[in-house]
Each structure stands twice: as structure tokens, then as C-alpha cells.
């Protein structure tokens, strides 16, 4: 993600050469106006601390986080697989990341 339009404009010419997602998606996430900076914690219920730790690690893995916050995952959901989940896991994970990173 880019912290601002000015940072985006400075980097875009270099980054476009190497990133195939720019052909598909050209979003900039404005984190200053509408952000929690990913510092929102998760409540532990019983023995969920290990799961919550893993989710926090995934949430702070920049490439993965941006992939879901920019909704790039939506183009790769296989909705026709008869034994698949139709993207329910990916959609739910994206919703969780948006809750952790953005204010409503």
C-alpha cells in the first residue's frame, strides 16, 4: 500500500515494471484518514490465543494484507468448484483485515 498519493506517484513508474497486479488493479489505500494501523487486537475466548497470534501475524504480512485490503483476491476465487467453499474463507479473512485496519 502507499501512505499517500504523492508516495504512490513517486513509486508507480518503477513498480509497474515488476508488478503484474497493476494491469488488474491500481488502487491506493489511504491509511491516514481511515486507519487503525492494524493495532486493533483480537479478544481471546478460551484457548484462541494461538489462533489470534497467527491471524495477527498474517495481518501484518504486508504483501498478503495488501492483497486482501485491495480486494485483489476476488478475481481469483473459484466459484465453480463443486467441492470448494466458493471463496467464503477468503471473503471472511478480507473482512477481518478490514476490521483490523480500517475504521467504519
User: Which own/partner pairs from 29-35 qualify as long-range (CB within 8 Å, at least 24 positions apart)?
Assistant: 29/1, 29/2, 29/66, 29/69, 29/70, 30/4, 31/1, 31/3, 31/101, 32/3, 32/4, 34/102, 34/103, 35/101, 35/102, 35/103
DSSP conformation class of 4: S
Winning range, highest mean pLDDT, from 21-25, 28-32, 96-100? 96-100
Res 4 pLDDT > 60:
yes
**Whole-model pTM above 0.85?**
no
Q: Are 102 and 34 in contact (CB under 8 A)?
A: yes
Amino acid at each position: 500500500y502507499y501512505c499517500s498519493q504523492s508516495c504512490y506517484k513517486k513509486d508507480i513508474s518503477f513498480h509497474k515494471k515488476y508488478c503484474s497486479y497493476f494491469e488488474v488493479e491500481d488502487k491506493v489505500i489511504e491509511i491516514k484518514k481511515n486507519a487503525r494501523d492494524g493495532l486493533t487486537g483480537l479478544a481471546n475466548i478460551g484457548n484462541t490465543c494461538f489462533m489470534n497470534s497467527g491471524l495477527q501475524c498474517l495481518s501484518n504480512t504486508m504483501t498478503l494484507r495488501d492483497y486482501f485490503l485491495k480486494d485483489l483476491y476476488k478475481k481469483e476465487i473459484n466459484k465453480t468448484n463443486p467441492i470448494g467453499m466458493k471463496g467464503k474463507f477468503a471473503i471472511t479473512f478480507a473482512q477481518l483485515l478490514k476490521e483490523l485496519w480500517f475504521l467504519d
